[in-house]
Chains A and B, each alone.
Chain A
Amino acid sequence: MWIEIAHFATLLALFLSLLLFGAPLAGMRWNNMAWVRVGRQAAFWACALLTLASAGLIISFMTHDFSVKYVAEHASLKLPTFYLATAMWGGHEGSLLLWAWFLSLFVAIAAWRHWDTHPVSMPWVLSILGALQVGFLLLVVFLSSPFVRLLDPPLDGRDLNPLLQDPGMVFHPPFLYMGYVGFAIPYAFAMAALITSQGDGEWILATRRWTLFSWIMLTIGIVFGAYWAYYELGWGGYWAWDPVENASFMPWLTGVAFLHSVMVQERRRMFKTWNLFLIITTFALSLLGTFLVRSGVLSSVHAFATDPGRGVYILMFMTVLLLFSFGLLTTKSDQLQGATQLESPWSREFSFLVNNLFLVAGACTVLLGTLYPLAVETLSSAKVSVGAPYYNKVFIPIMLGMLFLMGVGPCIPWRAASKRHLRREFLVPAIVGIAGLPAAWMLGITHPFGLAALALVLFVSTTHLRDVTGNVRLRMARDSLSAPAALWRMVGRNQRRYGGMLVHFGILIMVAGFVGSGLFQEERNLFLSPGDSLRLGDWNLTLESMGQTARRNWQAEEAVIRAERPGETVTLKPQKRVYNEHSQPTTEAAIHTTWREDLYVVLGDPVKDGVWAFRIYRNPLIAWIWFGSGIITLGVSLAMLQGRRPQRLST
């Protein structure tokens, strides 16, 4: 019953999306605002209907309606309620419906919030978003429907993939999709600005919060994914340069580039074409990310080709989008002349330009590594893979370069810096950075990349801290305030700048985590029988016993390990779980997290009677990665508090 309601609601939403696409166009053709208002109403109703459709699918899960094919394939009677309610995005079809629902929600919010402020571009924005929504709903309704019924329904479903029965994987897709879909709004405003010849950059101010929102959602989504990989897959790492991870990393990189380069357009009226290029690319990569993961093309080009309907449709969708966007950009490029020119390499705009080049190079690296194997497989029968060494080789230098620019960018003035200014801003941080090298050597960091990263982290934190303390002192003297009051007022006056700096601090903390876990991870593979013990770092680990345990839909072999070090004793219980008595075992690593390091224990197979294989890792500073991403979220939230800033040009 519910699934039919959901199906019907989606069909109606598709019809309304066509109206959302067509009515504003008709309104502009015959100069009749009534039609544009019809389009706006269609956006609201399409959102309501897709909300109903998503609710219908979730209710089908909650009521164990296994006559629905999608439910039968992704749930079972024993699946806990929490995972039942979130199994909606456990597979391709439901994920695409979730995507479409987010899109309709954001379109409705945009139609509501920007209606009064953007009378000229609004019809185009609505129409472009309507076209996207039609595109997605056609896919959901005709090629990837979650509403299909089974004639002879099974008594119980196939259950959700055990690897997905984890909180990290429950939250990962929705955040990722909110990020992907969110970029549609700035994209639509950018295109509308181009069509209506308003490329001077008002669209950037209008959509600044959308961009920040999308980027932080994408960031959170990626971190959830990394955390899940670390927590659930039991290989001691968090990022494997898997094509699925890469797909979300590409729009993230170009999104960072966009967030920085729009500031140059805002302040210096430069990079107009470049910014349009970046937002088109970011949104196109968001779509590519969805399609790569959701089309099955990654597991095998041939498997993908057996379902050519979906594949051809997706390729056509991407082609139309890219032709439309870049075609528009080239035909309208004459109105995008910059008002000013670059004057000096010692300027903020130049450092942002180089930062953009680094980020786009990073995105190209990932794109090449992800798509090249697909191209080879399609064009010849050969299969090829590109491994983690390639990405690490390219990304470590890029990351170091980015770190350096991160220290320079916020503190170098616009237009051109004098020698005196450069010396005043950067001499002390450079000395601090270099002075860190011998200290790092003594701490045992001997790897050149580790040393460079540490020196740069010190350099960046010094530039940022000096900027903050300098300004606080200035305000204390000028307005005779106490230090906290001065800090409060300073941040309150410019949430964007200090939000951005907080994001930079978050990145530094994450870099510490990358370096610590990347260079200093210790791994032990060994056999233990109850009573055996070993030393790892300053930990003393003892296998106390082996046993069995069970929950609602799984049972497990469980080891009990006591880990001791001076002043601390913890018990770790790694498991090998079997879900629903009839499937593959899955590894549940036991992790003890401290701010200094993680102790990470994986239970393997029995090697003979009473002896078990174990893999034990000591992962230094890995918690800093998760903590740093929290700081980044705070920083972006702070930056989002500030609405549109009064126009301030640096000419």
Chain B
Amino acid sequence: MKSPANKRLFLIITLLAVVGALGTLIFSSFTGALVYFHTPAEITAKAGELNGKKVRIGGMVQAGSLVKEPGTLKIRFLVSDGKSHLPVRYEGMVPDLFREGQGVVVEGVWRTGQDFAADTILAKHSEDYVPVEMSEQGIAKSQKSLLKSLQ
């Protein structure tokens, strides 16, 4: 029969092994899973450095830039941050919230010298849902009246 001290040691070693295995699992999965977010301007500035990396690019879908290839689900558009813009290709159904003049985040592998081939398009669903009439002017107006009511 094992002595109590030996048993205790065995228990502690088992527990440490479990904790170690779980920790390793978490951190090894974590390090490879980070995807950095860039604006088109940053992408242009760091084009070489980011080559071959998975990135997210965020900005506005430039008005007038969206081209649909008839008979397919292929689209092309420009993502713009006001300073620079980046051509993006995508094939597939786009989210409901995706359209020209709206914010968008595209994800894919960046390859220098090519159009950005997005494998995912994200358009966030926000609770602060704002139809056209109540967009920025509307909010500015209600904020103004709010300020008035506070004065």
Query: Measuring CB to CB, which residues of chain A are less than 8 angstroms from any residue of chain B?
Result: 69, 72-73, 90-92, 148-152, 154, 158-164, 233-234, 299, 341-345, 350, 353-354, 357-358, 361, 364-365, 368-369, 372, 382-387, 389-390, 393-394, 397-398, 525, 527, 580, 582-587, 602, 604-605, 607-608, 611, 613, 615
Interchain CA distance A651-B126 in the complex, whole Å:
55
Interchain CA distance A176-B37 in the complex, whole Å:
31
Could you show 26 A-B contacts with beta carbons less than 8 Å apart? A72-B142, A91-B128, A154-B142, A158-B129, A159-B129, A159-B131, A163-B129, A299-B126, A345-B10, A350-B11, A354-B18, A357-B15, A368-B26, A382-B36, A386-B35, A394-B26, A394-B29, A398-B25, A525-B73, A525-B92, A583-B129, A583-B131, A585-B96, A605-B94, A607-B70, A607-B72
Interchain CA distance A651-B23 in the complex, whole Å:
33
Interchain CA distance A345-B68 in the complex, whole Å:
63
- Nearest CB to that of A608 among chain B residues? B70
Say yes or no: A69 contacts B96, CB within 8 Å. no
Say yes or no: B35 contacts A387, CB within 8 Å. yes
- Nearest CB to that of A392 among chain B residues? B29
Within 8 A of A (CB), among B121-151: 124-134, 142, 145-146, 148-149
- Nearest CB to that of B10 among chain A residues? A345
Given contacts A151-B149, A345-B10, are A369 and B30 in contact (CB under 8 A)?
yes
Specify which chain B residues have a CB less than 8 angstroms from the CB of A584 in the assembled complex: 96-97, 99
Option from B8, B34, B145, B146 in Cβ contact (under 8 Å) with A386:
B34
Given contacts A584-B97, A602-B93, are A384 and B34 in contact (CB under 8 A)?
yes
New contact pairs (20) apart from A354-B15, A389-B33, CB-CB < 8 Å: A72-B142, A151-B146, A151-B149, A158-B129, A161-B126, A233-B125, A234-B96, A350-B11, A353-B15, A354-B18, A382-B36, A383-B58, A385-B56, A386-B34, A527-B71, A582-B133, A587-B96, A607-B71, A607-B72, A608-B71
Option from A150, A163, A353, A365 in Cβ contact (under 8 Å) with B26:
A365
Interchain CA distance A583-B30 in the complex, whole Å:
39
Interchain CA distance A104-B94 in the complex, whole Å:
44
Interchain CA distance A152-B147 in the complex, whole Å:
12
CB distance from A486 to the nearest CB of B (A): 38
Interchain CA distance A154-B146 in the complex, whole Å:
13
Say yes or no: B73 contacts A150, CB within 8 Å. no
- Nearest CB to that of A577 among chain B residues? B96
Say yes or no: B132 contacts A345, CB within 8 Å. no
Say yes or no: B22 contacts A358, CB within 8 Å. yes
Interchain CA distance A161-B129 in the complex, whole Å:
5
Say yes or no: B145 contacts A151, CB within 8 Å. yes
Interchain CA distance A75-B127 in the complex, whole Å:
12
Interface pairs A-B: 3 shortest CB-CB:
A390-B33, A383-B37, A161-B129
- Nearest CB to that of B69 among chain A residues? A607
CB distance from A244 to the nearest CB of B (A): 10
Given contacts A150-B149, A161-B127, are A613 and B93 in contact (CB under 8 A)?
yes
The tally of residues in B whose CB lies under 8 Å from a CB in A reads: 49
Query: Measuring CB to CB, which residues of chain B are less than 8 angstroms from any residue of chain A?
Result: 7-8, 10-11, 14-15, 18-19, 22-23, 25-26, 29-30, 32-37, 56, 58, 68, 70-73, 92-94, 96-97, 99, 124-134, 142, 145-146, 148-149
Say yes or no: B15 contacts A385, CB within 8 Å. no
Specify which chain B residues have a CB less than 8 angstroms from the CB of A345 in the assembled complex: 10-11, 14
Interface of A is mostly: mixed
- Nearest CB to that of B97 among chain A residues? A584
- Nearest CB to that of A153 among chain B residues? B145
CB distance from B66 to the nearest CB of A (A): 12
Say yes or no: B35 contacts A615, CB within 8 Å. no
Say yes or no: B37 contacts A397, CB within 8 Å. no
CB distance from A534 to the nearest CB of B (A): 16
Option from A354, A385, A607 in Cβ contact (under 8 Å) with B35:
A385
Specify which chain B residues have a CB less than 8 angstroms from the CB of A358 in the assembled complex: 22
Say yes or no: B70 contacts A357, CB within 8 Å. no
- Nearest CB to that of A364 among chain B residues? B26
Specify which chain B residues have a CB less than 8 angstroms from the CB of A608 in the assembled complex: 70-71
CB distance from A299 to the nearest CB of B (A): 7
Specify which chain B residues have a CB less than 8 angstroms from the CB of A158 in the assembled complex: 129-131, 134
Interchain CA distance A602-B95 in the complex, whole Å:
11
Specify which chain A residues have a CB less than 8 angstroms from the CB of B142 in the assembled complex: 69, 72, 150, 154
Specify which chain A residues have a CB less than 8 angstroms from the CB of B34 in the assembled complex: 372, 384-386
Say yes or no: A384 contacts B130, CB within 8 Å. no
CB distance from B102 to the nearest CB of A (A): 9
Say yes or no: A394 contacts B35, CB within 8 Å. no
CB distance from A377 to the nearest CB of B (A): 9
Say yes or no: B148 contacts A390, CB within 8 Å. no
Say yes or no: A394 contacts B25, CB within 8 Å. yes
- Nearest CB to that of B68 among chain A residues? A607
Specify which chain A residues have a CB less than 8 angstroms from the CB of B73 in the assembled complex: 525, 604, 607, 613
CB distance from A502 to the nearest CB of B (A): 28
Say yes or no: B96 contacts A586, CB within 8 Å. yes
Say yes or no: A361 contacts B127, CB within 8 Å. no
Say yes or no: A390 contacts B149, CB within 8 Å. no
Specify which chain A residues have a CB less than 8 angstroms from the CB of B149 in the assembled complex: 148-151
